[in-house]
């Protein structure tokens, strides 16, 4: 065995090395073909690779071959068939000096899936073996140029104990199998060249829900969703969603599936939601398994969304991939936009839009206004795993949506057709994407490109000035400074705008698209027949913060009559937000207009229940915080409770009707039934705020009689925040019933960590000691950490115990799984926005964490940036 030589040039503290976009260079070596042989075992797996390497004419002349590795030791290296000692380690990478232009490199490594708690590379989960390679996990399996612009054709042989691992899967199609001596092997080939991050392998005792899909050109595709046998009955919805997604992508984007086989595997230990490996998607079981007894309507919708998202990547990600990780939004922003459109088309477009905007505001706007703000196409990173963010994903999706708004649907489709055709089989950039849209449409999109490079959420002001039949709309924009970008240019902001008659409630100036491109701009409307109300940023056409000069009376009118459902929702929410922010600031404000708008919405015969539910739900405590100069969590909580209680008391009749009338049979998954259930639980929530004793009884009755998880969990959420004997009864009944179902026990943890109670910190401390808590399982860890971090009032408990608890948990988690630990930091990032005492305590916890020896690169980056 060759000894391991450590190069003196290796960086002392890898935590500090930054990768910069401007340093991108084409690879020195290409790998047209890759052959892998796995001798699989939980404790020990042997990996033998054979790489056909060719010098890249575009690379640096004479450069050695640098193969990335992470936690790997080469057992042996072969060059053109001969064992070689002519290599060295450069940090954790393998450096092989090579003359000539073409060689065959053989490498053998040995890895331990059982010891892999980071869940990156090849790891063990529930007795099976699986992989996660995006972004840089492949280098934990074997030495390889682990960068997305090196595309290779893979041939993979898996050899394993037949009883332990009866099923062997990897990308592409099986080409040969064999067995003997209790072992078996399978060889697969993937005909499509792919980057290493799309490699996948699964071995285990799995059973498939099988189906077929016939594609538009008549190709029969075998579909398989692989799970443990006991979970098979819970795979029907995922399978139906997959077929729906395949059909939708053919109809909407003209994209057809390209292999004879499409497999999905569900695993219970997974860092993210799911992964789009070519022909073999690997999923967090939370996004596959569902039935009416264990999954909520939201779970069902999420499964459809995530299954569609990963499937859509087959074109937007796999066939056309990213040149480098700075282009991540090329595949993720676009694919999120695609999955959002899919969900809108199969459900209710207005409610879907409201939901997506809520997520954007809650997560992306927060990120964009804090220390972790970065552009959709970042300029640098320390750890790429930290950049799978709401900015890359959700703001990236908004950017694609704006391009579509500007082009219109036909030209947009022509643009995506050209993009897929032009870059098929390539690693592309965000610029390539925009260029394809421009070339196909003949429309210049330069003005929108600033959205890729400039971080921060634009703030737009609008004021309508009317003089008889003429109206002037005065617009202004400010883009706030973000880390590394103190001064901003004005952006191109597409604002869908209409005027609504104050008296008639009719659309008196039809919707038009206004492009705000200057810091200040005035737009005129002629022939305005009556006093007009401004309806702007309709359907949320641009991801900006709007500050519109409008009185409560005007908002009330828009809340009742705006012709755009999103704008109508906004008017109601804006009324509530104004009242909440003023009350939290200690002002005494009349709640008449708010109650009027909520009551009118509830009583409407035209609005559907799903819309009503979204509209009447008071904005979250964190959104209220965004409206305050200094965030005071106690004042915000008190104000929101006051509003919830007022609505619950004043509108008890309407809410009772909605709650009682909302009980739909659990097997009915139509959007009408889902909407009624959603309104039902929100009504219950508000009723309980108005009358806690009665609320506890109602909630317990809903809990006991529920025939589906939506109603049952909805009632449990209400009870969890109350002080009533029914609370403990329901929590115990829920636990006892689902003790053996990990995904439901995750809910049981999360419900308690989200509870609005003075003692939630004590509760989460106890939960972290619970026998079923496991820091090694990302879902279970998140069921406490993510839920608690988002629970503003509890996390920001004045004692500072919430901060200490989460910081301790992050430090513990970092030892096990740095990627997941680093994702728990953002709640601390907003420390500067809070009142002095809390800000000091949050900062102290950040500093304490940062000073801890042995931090991962992931956590180091998030902490140091949060303090900068
Ligand atoms: N490619 C990602 C999965 C991924 C993310 C792998 C980060 C490695 C690091 C996948 O396509 C994805 O985006 N998954 C999302 C869900 C999706 C519906 C937005 C996820 O896992 O959260
Ligand atoms: Zn994705």
Contact call for residues 402 and 437 (beta carbons, < 8 A): no
> Of all protein residues, whose CA lies closest to atom 20 belonging to ligand 1?
273
> Which ligand has its closest atom nearest to the C-alpha of 307?
1
Please give the distance, rounded to the nearest whole angstrom, from the Cα atom of residue 275 to the centre of ligand 1.
6
DSSP secondary structure of 712-744: HHHHHHHHHTS-SHHHHHHHHHHHHHHTT-HHH
Contact call for residues 32 and 43 (beta carbons, < 8 A): no
Where does the pLDDT of residue 8 fall: very low under 50, low under 70, confident under 90, or very high at 90 and above? very low
Where does the pLDDT of residue 240 fall: very low under 50, low under 70, confident under 90, or very high at 90 and above? very high
The pLDDT value given to residue 436 = 99
The pLDDT value given to residue 9 = 38
Atom of ligand 1 nearest to the CA of 137: 8
Q: Which of 148, 199, 283, 310 to mutate to test the pocket of ligand 1 (most atoms within 8 A of CB)?
A: 310
Look over the chain and give the mean of its residue pLDDT values, rounded to a whole number: 97
Atom of ligand 1 nearest to the CA of 284: 21
Bridge partners, residue 144, by sequence: 68
Q: What is the phi/psi pair of residue 15, to 5°?
A: -60, -25
Q: Which of 271, 274, 285, 396 to mutate to test the pocket of ligand 1 (most atoms within 8 A of CB)?
A: 274
Q: Are strands 427-428 and 520-525 parallel, antiparallel or unpaired?
A: unpaired
> Of all protein residues, whose CA lies closest to atom 16 belonging to ligand 1?
273
Bridge partners, residue 224, by sequence: 210, 263
DSSP secondary structure of 252-318: HH-----SSEEEEEEES--SSSEE--TTEEEEEGGGT---TTT--HHHHHHHHHHHHHHHHTTTBTT
Tokens of residue 68, six digits: 């990335």
DSSP single-letter state for residue 15: G
Please give the distance, rounded to the nearest whole angstrom, from the Cα atom of residue 199 to the centre of ligand 1.
15
Let me know the angle formed at the C-alpha of 102 by 97 and 107, rounded to the nearest 5 degrees: 60
Length in residues, the chain: 868
Residues 836, 839, 844, 850, CA torsion sign: negative
Tokens of residue 458, six digits: 């634009």
Q: Is the pLDDT of residue 108 over 60?
A: yes
How far is the C-alpha of 555 from the C-alpha of 593, rounded, in Å? 9
How far is the C-alpha of 334 from the C-alpha of 340, rounded, in Å? 10
3-state helix, strand, coil in the chain (%, to 5): 45, 25, 30
The pLDDT value given to residue 13 = 53
Q: What is the phi/psi pair of residue 34, to 5°?
A: -130, 130
Tokens of residue 112, six digits: 């331990």
Q: Is the pLDDT of residue 218 over 60?
A: yes
Q: Is 240 helix (H, G, I), strand (E, B) or coil?
A: helix
Q: Is the pLDDT of residue 475 over 70?
A: yes
**Above pLDDT 90, what percent of the chain?**
98
Cα–chain center distance at 671: 23
The pLDDT value given to residue 700 = 98
Atom of ligand 1 nearest to the CA of 336: 19
Owner of token pair 């090579």: 98
Bridge partners, residue 212, by sequence: 222
Number of H helices, E strands in the chain: 30, 31
> Which ligand has its closest atom nearest to the C-alpha of 388?
1
Q: What's the pLDDT tens digit per position in 671-728?
A: 999 999 999 999 999 999 999 999 999 999 999 999 999 999 999 999 999 999 999 9
Q: Within 13 Å of residue 227, how many CA atoms lie on the same side as its CB?
A: 23
Tokens of residue 87, six digits: 């290599």
> Of all protein residues, whose CA lies closest to atom 8 belonging to ligand 1?
134
Which candidate, 210, 256, 254, places its Cα nearest to that of 235? Answer: 210
For 230, residues 6+ apart whose C-beta sits below 8 A from its C-beta are none
> Of all protein residues, whose CA lies closest to atom 21 belonging to ligand 1?
273
Which candidate, 278, 394, 255, places its Cα nearest to that of 336? Answer: 394
Q: What's the pLDDT tens digit per position in 771-816?
A: 999 999 999 999 999 999 999 999 999 999 999 999 999 999 999 9
Please give the distance, rounded to the nearest whole angstrom, from the Cα atom of residue 245 to the centre of ligand 2.
15
Which candidate, 171, 161, 97, places its Cα nearest to that of 138? Answer: 171
> Of all protein residues, whose CA lies closest to atom 6 belonging to ligand 1?
134
DSSP single-letter state for residue 7: P
Among 310, 398, 556, 614, the one annotated catalytic: 310
How far is the C-alpha of 439 from the C-alpha of 419, rounded, in Å? 10
Q: Which of 273, 339, 390, 820 to mutate to test the pocket of ligand 1 (most atoms within 8 A of CB)?
A: 273
DSSP single-letter state for residue 43: S
> Which ligand has its closest atom nearest to the C-alpha of 343?
1
Q: What number is the average pLDDT over the span 267-283?
A: 98
> Which ligand has its closest atom nearest to the C-alpha of 356?
1
How far is the C-alpha of 726 from the C-alpha of 720, rounded, in Å? 9
Q: At what angle do helices 801-816 and 760-767 cross, to 10 degrees?
A: 20
Query: Residues with Cβ within 6 A of ligand 1?
Result: 134-135, 272-276, 305-306, 309-310, 313, 332, 336, 339, 388, 393
H-helix or E-strand spanning residue 791: none
How far is the C-alpha of 237 from the C-alpha of 674, rounded, in Å? 15
Q: Is the pLDDT of residue 101 over 90?
A: yes
How far is the C-alpha of 309 from the C-alpha of 275, rounded, in Å? 9
Q: What number is the average pLDDT over the span 584-607?
A: 97
Q: What's the pLDDT tens digit per position in 561-586?
A: 999 999 999 999 999 999 999 999 99
> Which ligand has its closest atom nearest to the C-alpha of 135?
1
Contact call for residues 677 and 617 (beta carbons, < 8 A): no
Q: What is the phi/psi pair of residue 506, to 5°?
A: -90, 165
> Of all protein residues, whose CA lies closest to atom 22 belonging to ligand 1?
273
Told to judge if 310 belongs to the known catalytic residues of this protein, a careful annotator would answer yes
Q: Is the pLDDT of residue 356 over 60?
A: yes
Bridge partners, residue 642, by sequence: none
Which candidate, 812, 815, 757, places its Cα nearest to that of 788? Answer: 757
Question: Rounded to whole angstroms, what are the CA distances from 828 to 797, 822, 831, 838?
Answer: 13, 11, 6, 11
How far is the C-alpha of 813 from the C-alpha of 818, rounded, in Å? 7
Contact call for residues 743 and 729 (beta carbons, < 8 A): no
DSSP single-letter state for residue 620: P
How far is the C-alpha of 534 from the C-alpha of 471, rounded, in Å? 10
Atom of ligand 1 nearest to the CA of 134: 8
Q: Is the pLDDT of residue 307 over 60?
A: yes
Tokens of residue 308, six digits: 């569609």
Q: What is the phi/psi pair of residue 619, to 5°?
A: -55, 150
Q: What's the pLDDT tens digit per position in 487-531?
A: 999 999 999 999 999 999 999 999 999 999 999 999 999 999 999
Tokens of residue 836, six digits: 């002095």
How far is the C-alpha of 45 from the C-alpha of 113, rounded, in Å? 7
DSSP secondary structure of 810-860: HHHHHHH-HHHHHTT-HHHHTGGGB-HHHHHHHHHHHHHHHHSTT--HHHH
How far is the C-alpha of 706 from the C-alpha of 713, rounded, in Å? 9
Please give the distance, rounded to the nearest whole angstrom, from the Cα atom of residue 277 to the centre of ligand 1.
11
Q: What's the pLDDT tens digit per position in 611-644?
A: 999 999 999 999 999 999 999 999 999 999 999 9
Question: Rounded to whole angstroms, what are the CA distances from 806 to 45, 369, 535, 695?
Answer: 36, 22, 42, 31
Contact call for residues 227 and 288 (beta carbons, < 8 A): yes
How far is the C-alpha of 650 from the C-alpha of 599, rounded, in Å? 9
Q: Within 13 Å of residue 865, how many CA atoms lie on the same side as its CB?
A: 27
Q: Are strands 459-467 and 65-67 parallel, antiparallel or unpaired?
A: unpaired
Q: Is the pLDDT of residue 12 over 50?
A: no
> Of all protein residues, whose CA lies closest to atom 18 belonging to ligand 1?
306
Tokens of residue 450, six digits: 């600033």
Please give the distance, rounded to the nearest whole angstrom, from the Cα atom of residue 140 to the centre of ligand 2.
21
Let me know the angle formed at the C-alpha of 104 by 101 and 109, rounded to the nearest 5 degrees: 130
Q: What's the pLDDT tens digit per position in 157-208?
A: 999 999 999 999 999 999 999 999 999 999 999 999 999 999 999 999 999 9
Tokens of residue 67, six digits: 């193969």
Contact call for residues 122 and 139 (beta carbons, < 8 A): no
Q: What is the phi/psi pair of residue 472, to 5°?
A: -115, 130
**For residue 87, is the peptide bond before it cis, meaning its omega torsion is within 30 degrees of 0?**
no
Q: Is 97 helix (H, G, I), strand (E, B) or coil?
A: coil
> Of all protein residues, whose CA lies closest to atom 10 belonging to ligand 1?
275
Beta strands in 470-619 (DSSP E): 470-478, 493-501, 507-516, 520-525, 532-536, 545-548
Atom of ligand 1 nearest to the CA of 393: 19
Atom of ligand 1 nearest to the CA of 388: 7
Q: Is the pLDDT of residue 227 over 90?
A: yes
Q: How many CB atoms lie within 10 A of CB 233?
A: 11
Q: How many CB atoms lie within 10 A of CB 25?
A: 10
**Above pLDDT 70, what percent of the chain?**
98
Please give the distance, rounded to the nearest whole angstrom, from the Cα atom of residue 317 to the centre of ligand 2.
8
């Amino acid at each position: 065995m060759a000894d391991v030589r450590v190069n003196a040039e290796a960086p002392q503290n890898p935590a500090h090395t930054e990768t910069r976009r401007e340093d991108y260079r084409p690879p020195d070596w290409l790998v047209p073909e890759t052959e892998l042989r796995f001798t699989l075992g939980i404790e020990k797996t042997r990996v033998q690779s054979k790489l056909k390497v060719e010098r890249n004419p575009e690379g640096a002349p004479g450069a050695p071959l640098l193969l990335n590795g992470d936690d790997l030791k080469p057992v042996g290296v072969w060059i053109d068939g001969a064992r070689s000692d002519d290599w060295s380690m450069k940090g954790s990478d393998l450096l092989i000096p090579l003359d000539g232009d073409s060689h065959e490199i053989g490498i053998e490594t040995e890895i331990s899936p059982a010891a892999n708690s980071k869940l990156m590379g090849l790891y063990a989960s529930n007795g099976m073996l699986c992989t996660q390679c995006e972004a840089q996990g492949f280098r934990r399996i074997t030495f390889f140029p682990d960068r997305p612009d090196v595309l290779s054709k893979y041939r993979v042989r898996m050899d394993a104990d037949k009883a332990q691992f009866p099923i062997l899967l990897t990308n592409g199609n099986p080409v040969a199998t064999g067995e003997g001596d209790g072992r078996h092997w399978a060889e697969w080939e993937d005909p499509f060249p792919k980057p290493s991050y799309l490699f996948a392998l699964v071995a285990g005792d799995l059973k498939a829900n099988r189906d077929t899909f016939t594609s538009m050109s008549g190709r029969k595709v075998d579909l398989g969703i692989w799970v443990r046998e006991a979970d098979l009955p819970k795979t029907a919805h995922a399978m139906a969603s997959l077929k729906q997604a395949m059909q939708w992508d053919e109809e909407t984007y003209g994209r057809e599936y390209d292999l004879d086989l499409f497999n999905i595997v569900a695993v219970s230990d997974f860092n993210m939601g799911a992964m789009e490996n070519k022909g073999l998607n690997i999923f967090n079981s939370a996004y596959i398994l569902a039935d009416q007894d264990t999954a909520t309507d939201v779970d069902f919708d999420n499964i459809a969304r995530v299954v569609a998202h990963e499937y859509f990547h087959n074109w937007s990600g796999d066939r056309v991939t990213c040149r480098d990780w700075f282009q991540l939004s090329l595949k993720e922003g676009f694919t999120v936009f695609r999955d959002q459109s899919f969900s809108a088309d199969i459900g209710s477009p207005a409610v879907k839009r409201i939901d997506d905007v809520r997520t954007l505001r809650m997560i992306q706007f927060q990120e964009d206004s804090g220390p972790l703000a970065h552009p959709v196409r970042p300029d640098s990173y320390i750890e790429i795993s930290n950049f799978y963010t709401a900015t890359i994903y959700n703001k990236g999706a908004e950017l694609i949506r704006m391009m579509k708004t500007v082009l219109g649907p036909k030209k947009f489709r022509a643009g995506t057709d050209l993009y897929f055709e032009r870059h098929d089989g390539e690693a592309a950039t965000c610029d390539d994407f925009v260029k394809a849209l421009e070339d196909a449409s003949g429309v210049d999109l330069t003005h929108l490109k600033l959205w890729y490079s400039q971080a921060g959420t634009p703030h737009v002001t609008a004021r309508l000035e009317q003089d008889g039949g003429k109206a002037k709309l005065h617009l202004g924009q400010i883009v706030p400074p973000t880390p590394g970008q103190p001064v901003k240019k004005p952006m191109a902001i597409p604002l869908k705008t209409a005027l609504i008659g104050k008296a008639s409630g009719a659309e008196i100036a039809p919707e038009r698209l206004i492009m705000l491109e200057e810091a200040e701009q005035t737009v005129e409307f002629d022939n305005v027949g009556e006093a007009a109300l401004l309806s702007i940023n309709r359907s949320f056409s641009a991801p900006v913060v709007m500050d519109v000069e409008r009185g409560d009376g005007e908002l009330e009118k828009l809340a009742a009559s705006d012709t755009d459902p999103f704008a109508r929702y906004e008017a109601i929410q804006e009324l509530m937000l104004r009242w909440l922010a003023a009350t939290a600031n200690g002002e005494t404000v009349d709640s008449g207009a708010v109650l009027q708008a909520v009551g009118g919405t509830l009583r409407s015969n035209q609005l559907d229940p799903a819309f009503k539910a979204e509209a009447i739900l008071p904005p979250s405590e964190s959104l209220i915080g965004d409206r305050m100069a200094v965030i005071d969590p106690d004042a915000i909580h008190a104000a929101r409770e006051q509003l919830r209680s007022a609505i619950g008391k004043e509108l008890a009749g309407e809410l009772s009707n909605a709650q009682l009338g909302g009980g739909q049979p659990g097997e009915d998954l139509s959007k009408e039934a889902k909407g009624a259930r959603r309104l039902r639980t929100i009504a219950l929530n508000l009723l309980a705020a108005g009358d806690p004793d009665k609320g506890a009884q109602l909630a317990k009755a809903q809990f006991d009689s529920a025939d589906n998880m939506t109603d049952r969990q909805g009632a449990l959420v209400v009870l969890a925040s109350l002080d009533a004997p029914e609370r403990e009864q329901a929590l115990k009944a829920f636990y006892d019933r689902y003790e053996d179902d990990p995904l439901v026990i995750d809910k049981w943890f999360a419900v308690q960590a989200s509870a609005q109670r003075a003692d939630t910190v004590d509760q989460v401390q106890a939960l972290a000691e619970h026998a079923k808590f496991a820091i090694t399982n990302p879902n279970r860890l998140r069921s406490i950490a993510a839920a608690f971090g988002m629970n503003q009032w509890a996390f920001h408990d004045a004692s500072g115990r919430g901060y200490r608890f989460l910081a301790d948990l992050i430090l513990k988690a970092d030892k096990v799984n740095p990627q997941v630990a680093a994702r728990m930091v953002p709640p601390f990032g907003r420390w500067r926005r809070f009142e002095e005492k809390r800000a000091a305590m949050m900062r102290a916890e950040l500093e304490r964490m940062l000073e801890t020896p042995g931090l991962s690169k992931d956590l180091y980056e998030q902490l140091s940036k949060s303090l900068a």
